[in-house]
Amino acid sequence: MDNRNEIEGQWGNLTTVLENEQIDLFREEFLDMHPYDQGKFFMDQPKELRMQIYTYLSPEETAEIMENIELEDTEAFFSEMDPRFAAMVFADMATDDAVDILNELEKDKVASFLTIMDQEAAGEIKQLLHYEEKTAGSIMTTEFIALYKTQTTKEAMLDLKKEAPDAETIYYLYVVDEDKRLVGVLSLRDLIIADEDTLIGEVMSEKVVSVSVALDQEEVAQMIRDYDFLAVPVVDFQQHLLGIITVDDILDVMDEEASDDYSKLAGVSDVDRPTESAIHSAKKRLPWLIILLFLGMLTASLIGRFEDTLSKVTILAAFIPVIAGMSGNTGTQALAVAVRGIATGEYGQSGKLKLIMREASTGLITGSCCGVVITIVIYLWKGDIFLGLLVGISILATLTVATIAGALIPMVMDRLKIDPAVASGPFITTINDLISILIYFGLATAFMGFLL
């Protein structure tokens, strides 16, 4: 906490320096900060002071700031920069980071920046822009070091010293043959301790794990997590080495995928940002709400079909919210477990069956406990054991069915190649409302004689 207060105090002093136009002092203090804190300070400033910062920093220094700012916030900053300065910033950024930002911009702006940009940098960026979004190709970087297996370790070290300043990482060194096909990997440690005259092909490991350029970024993240890699090479269908994906990029992917799944579970197309207008937020939420509105009308229509039962035993209406709410809650719990398991790849084919069986057993146990409790409560409250048994058995049945549905629906969607997170909380809740009402009034109609 003290460290945070110290940083905020430093920011206040730096703002004063900026306002007083003390360029040299600002550069000295600002560039001494950690890049993350530079980004936070930059974002905290009003537009007029940000415009001032652009004139005080070089494109390379500004690029480092942009690499430490959340992707969705960068568009506004590049829009306010002078186009030529912005193009130079893009050229000085890591290629994969530049591509991520350009993918968020309008196509005419992207074309403009690429036209102004240095041709070599523009060429590298264009290569990555061609890959489909959210694939390994779209998040890889081409700033890596590849060694030839026919090189000696001495020659490799000389190449490494020359190319290391521009490389994304040098902890993993990938080895290619004369056709630039990936054939092995070695660590920096392996290279350092090897004899100078030893060939790279003799010290490398041929057990190299790579990913296809077209592989989904979520699967790449899962692989890096499973193998504890710092980086993974990206290849085409002929095993040519195209680029690498580093763990810092995967952390961004995991954050993006988690936000995406969370927004779908909440029944919106994307997580609302604080800067968005009410109209923009409403546009995102309306499609799901309208779908759920029609599903809700189905529930109302279903209740209407049991109007005769309700008119004879009006007390039944009092327990509709209890049964519907309980089924929605338990269904959402099972849904969260299933979606997480599918997303992380924890369950194979046999694992999914075990999950369904486990959730069915869980629903049966929780339903039995809740059913017994509500039966006793209703008997003590209303003095009617048959009403208590009806509600209790209904809760037992609905919780069991809702739990199975919550686990099963995401798996069915996954099998149909639909994102399991689409089985969102509001959707599964409304479906379970329909099921619970049908069970409750079906049982009430069947045992009407005991209630009357």
Residue 42 in contact with residue 53, Cβ under 8 Å?
A: yes
DSSP single-letter state for residue 384: -
Q: What is the pLDDT of residue 332?
A: 81
Which residues 6+ apart lie within 8 Å of 188 measured at CB?
Answer: 170, 171, 172, 173
Instruction: Determine if residue 214 is left, alpha or beta; phi over 0 gives left, psi from -120 to 50 gives alpha, anything else beta.
Output: alpha
Residue 410 in contact with residue 420, Cβ under 8 Å?
A: yes
Which residues 6+ apart lie within 8 Å of 382 measured at CB?
Answer: 315, 388
The tens digit of pLDDT for each residue in 409-446 reads 888 877 777 766 655 566 777 788 888 888 888 888 88
Residue 167: which H helix or E strand, with range?
none
Helix locations, 132-187, DSSP H: 136-139, 153-163
Which one, of 405, 332, 399, 328, lies nearest residue 365 by Cα? 399
Residue 245 in contact with residue 227, Cβ under 8 Å?
A: no
Give the span between the Cα atoms of 153 and 337, in whole angstroms: 50
The tens digit of pLDDT for each residue in 11-61 reads 778 888 888 889 999 999 999 988 888 998 999 899 999 999 999 999 999
Residue found under tokens 């810092």: 248
Half-sphere exposure of 53 (CA within 13 A, CB side): 27
Which domains can be identified in the chain, with CATH numbers?
A: 2-139 (1.25.60.10), 146-260 (3.10.580.10), 278-451 (1.10.357.20)
pLDDT at 152 over 90: yes
Residue environment code for 152-168, b if the CB has 16+ CB neighbours within 10 A, otherwise e: bbebbbeebeeeeeeeb
Under the banding of pLDDT at 50, 70 and 90, the label for residue 288 is: low
CA 355-361-365 angle, 5° bins: 140
Q: What is the pLDDT of residue 1?
A: 45
The tens digit of pLDDT for each residue in 203-240 reads 999 989 999 999 988 889 888 888 888 889 999 989 99
Give the span between the Cα atoms of 450 and 452, in whole angstroms: 6
Under the banding of pLDDT at 50, 70 and 90, the label for residue 88 is: very high
How long a stretch of residues is the chain? 452
Under the banding of pLDDT at 50, 70 and 90, the label for residue 375 is: very high
The tens digit of pLDDT for each residue in 436-445 reads 888 888 888 8
Q: What is the pLDDT of residue 134?
A: 84
Structure tokens at 397: 């049945």
The tens digit of pLDDT for each residue in 393-407 reads 999 999 999 899 888
